[in-house]
Amino acid sequence: MPSAHVPVVIVGAGPTGLTAATLLARYGVECLVLERWEGVYPQPRAVHLDGEIRRILDRLGVGDEFDAISRPALGLRLVDRKLRVLAEFHRNPTGGRNGYPDANMFDQPELEEILRAAVKRHADVTVRGDVEVTAVVPETDGVRVDFTDRTTDAAESVRARYVLGCDGANSLVRTSIGASMQDLNFEQRWLVVDVATTVELGQWEGVHQVCDPARAATYMRIGKTRHRWEFRLGPGETADDYRDIERLHGLIRPWTGTVPIEELELVRLADYTFRAQLADRWRAGRIFLLGDAAHLTPPFIGQGMGAGLRDAANLTWKLAAVLAGDLPARVLATYEAERKPHARTMIRLAKATGVAMTDGGELGNLLRRLITPHLHRVPGFHALVTDGVTPPLRRSELVVRPRLLGGRAGSLVPNAVLDEGRRYDDVAAGRYAIVTTVQPGPAQYGEIRARGWVVVTAGPGTELRRWLRRGGARAALVRPDGTVQCAARDLTRLYTAYAP
């Protein structure tokens, strides 16, 4: 028999599950996180997150802690096999439109430790480690989650109103709802090498992508003493072929130069199969898929974990509003409608980067030399790699915009400095906001306040005003996750466009 009832059960305490739990707790929603392991998965994986994701970390209350373990990167360099620069894309290392460096390098286990500590600060969240979820079963007015305590083998159950499947690439929750991964036609095997050294390598502090079909590679410094290399493996090669330090050194020597082997500590050597996959459905009734359970991307533009955090930021405020009775349950359909196309676009950009690095043999090398300097003209690539901006969300009940001219709806509001010196995110603080170039009248103010929304005035000469005007608008309704729900030429039209 089910032993307890909670509003939300989250399966998996990876970065996606921990982010979802903390955001829900900040909205006052109680949740139970069930995780197979007692501690954080100790092996390095993700090393990069962008300025948009850094904003989510701030909402979790871990921004300063993250800054202490991360390092801004200067951008992306595409280089040939002799490390000659083919193209260079600069990222703002101090504070871009999101208020933070556009590219932040870090070590995933260190971030997960911070996220675990943060979630424990919320009394509304219970994290149970050492439990294996074995079944997720829809019932009339909720979901039953069965799990086994791995320390005692005892079988237990819990009932929830909603379940979030944040259980990674081999998701049981995905299987339980009858969803399957669609293959987006990319599969390559890569060697991932993490090295620590106190010796300065003297390399450019951005991401180096070696465009070479014979041995495509990536190098980046991720911390004061930490460095990451990734090398495409040839047919039949495995990580074991490179456990011999001399052989491994042969691969990384172009960057380490004359640094003696004894000064290089091998933190991790592993081979990974990089895939591009998207779940065919992300939801069945009260059960949702988030993170790697819903999408897998090759890591070439460092967006896999970020996509999971975007999922959590997109879904949690809606779920909290539905549980509180502030929004109708039908708006939960906007989660998949908005997030799936965005995830697909980012996976395609990652695939395109991978192909640019690896395809075409010697002819490909020649073409690369000609084409890569002009890559900044490719839509999406330019915005992402140069400006740190990801595509706007598609139309949905909570992204209201004309079919042809999109305007600002669906895009992320800049985290601009406001008149009083604070940034947008500090003022909005996870609530709905009206961003407007004109002050609302007393009646409008009353209505806005009654809804619990915030008014952010985009005064003359401010970044927010320029941003609105460039989008052909004077006012915008911005959702708690920072996405513009609708934008209009004046406040009255904004109210008319606002639906739920």
Q: Is 33 in the site for ligand FAD (CB under 6 A)?
A: no
Identify any residues that bridge with 288 across adjacent strands, giving them in sequence order.
Answer: 164, 283
Q: Is 305 in the site for ligand FAD (CB under 6 A)?
A: yes
Of 2, 27, 30, 41, the one binding ligand FAD (CB under 6 A) is: 41
CA neighbours within 13 Å on the CB side: how many for 187? 5
Q: Of 109, 259, 268, give the one whose Cα is nearest residue 197.
A: 259
Q: How far is the CB of 87 from ligand FAD (least distance, A)?
A: 20
**Residue 154 CB coordination number (10 Å):** 10
Q: Is 206 in the site for ligand FAD (CB under 6 A)?
A: no
Cα angle 375, 377, 382 (rounded to 5 degrees) comes to: 80
Of 9, 22, 25, 48, the one binding ligand FAD (CB under 6 A) is: 48
DSSP 175-221: HHTT--EEEEEEEEEEEEEEEE-SS-----SSEEEE--TTS-EEEEE
Query: Of 328-357, which residues contact ligand FAD (CB under 6 A)?
Result: none
Of 60, 192, 284, 400, the one binding ligand FAD (CB under 6 A) is: 192
Lookup: tokens for 105: 């390098």
Distances (CA, A) of 495 to 330, 431, 486, 499: 20, 17, 9, 8
Nearer of residues 207 and 418 to ligand FAD, judged by Cβ: 207
Q: How far is the CB of 228 from ligand FAD (least distance, A)?
A: 8
Which of the 8 DSSP states describes residue 93?
S
Of 302, 354, 388, 480, the one binding ligand FAD (CB under 6 A) is: 302
Q: How far is the CB of 131 from ligand FAD (least distance, A)?
A: 6
Element (H, E) at 457: strand 454-457
Of 26, 45, 71, 465, the one binding ligand FAD (CB under 6 A) is: 45
Q: Is 37 in the site for ligand FAD (CB under 6 A)?
A: yes
Q: Of 266, 276, 280, give the one whose Cα is nearest residue 296.
A: 276
Nearer of residues 14 and 72 to ligand FAD, judged by Cβ: 14
Pinpoint the alpha helices (H) of 27-81: 51-59, 63-69
Q: Is 130 in the site for ligand FAD (CB under 6 A)?
A: no
Q: Which of 38-46, 66-74, 115-123, 240-248 is the region at the interface with ligand FAD (rule: CB under 6 A)?
A: 38-46
Q: Which of 211-219, 291-299, 335-343, 444-452 is the region at the interface with ligand FAD (rule: CB under 6 A)?
A: 291-299
Of 22, 29, 36, 398, the one binding ligand FAD (CB under 6 A) is: 36
Q: Of 430, 444, 171, give the one whose Cα is nearest residue 316.
A: 430
Nearer of residues 10 and 398 to ligand FAD, judged by Cβ: 10
Paired sense of beta strands 75-79 and 85-90, if any:
antiparallel
Of 10, 31, 47, 323, the one binding ligand FAD (CB under 6 A) is: 47
Paired sense of beta strands 181-196 and 283-284, if any:
unpaired
Nearer of residues 48 and 401 to ligand FAD, judged by Cβ: 48
Q: Is 216 in the site for ligand FAD (CB under 6 A)?
A: no
226 SS3 class: strand
Q: Is 11 in the site for ligand FAD (CB under 6 A)?
A: yes
Q: How far is the CB of 12 from ligand FAD (least distance, A)?
A: 3
Q: Is 193 in the site for ligand FAD (CB under 6 A)?
A: no
Distances (CA, A) of 340 to 24, 305, 357, 483: 21, 15, 26, 15
Q: Of 430, 473, 440, give the one whose Cα is nearest residue 26.
A: 430
Q: Is 133 in the site for ligand FAD (CB under 6 A)?
A: yes
Of 7, 75, 101, 299, the one binding ligand FAD (CB under 6 A) is: 299
Q: How far is the CB of 290 from ligand FAD (least distance, A)?
A: 7
Query: Of 253-272, which residues contact ligand FAD (CB under 6 A)?
Result: 272
Q: How far is the CB of 293 from ligand FAD (least distance, A)?
A: 6
Of 7, 75, 206, 308, the one binding ligand FAD (CB under 6 A) is: 308
Query: How many chain residues bind ligand FAD (CB under 6 A)?
Result: 35
Q: How far is the CB of 213 from ligand FAD (least distance, A)?
A: 20
Terminal Cα-to-Cα distance of the chain (whole angstroms):
38
Q: Which of 36-44, 179-187, 242-250, 334-342 is the region at the interface with ligand FAD (rule: CB under 6 A)?
A: 36-44
Distances (CA, A) of 134 to 3, 144, 286: 16, 11, 18
Of 21, 34, 118, 289, the one binding ligand FAD (CB under 6 A) is: 34
Of 6, 8, 10, 17, the one binding ligand FAD (CB under 6 A) is: 17
Burial of 33: CB neighbours in 10 Å, binned 0-12, 13-18, 19+: buried
Identify any residues that bridge with 11 across adjacent strands, giving them in sequence order.
Answer: 34, 165
48 contacts 384 by C-beta, under 8 angstroms: no
**Dihedral through CA 448, CA 449, CA 452, CA 456, nearest 10?**
70
Of 46, 103, 356, 413, the one binding ligand FAD (CB under 6 A) is: 46
Q: Which residues bind ligand FAD (CB under 6 A)?
A: 11-17, 34-37, 41, 45-49, 108, 132-133, 166-168, 172, 192, 272, 291-292, 299, 302-306, 308
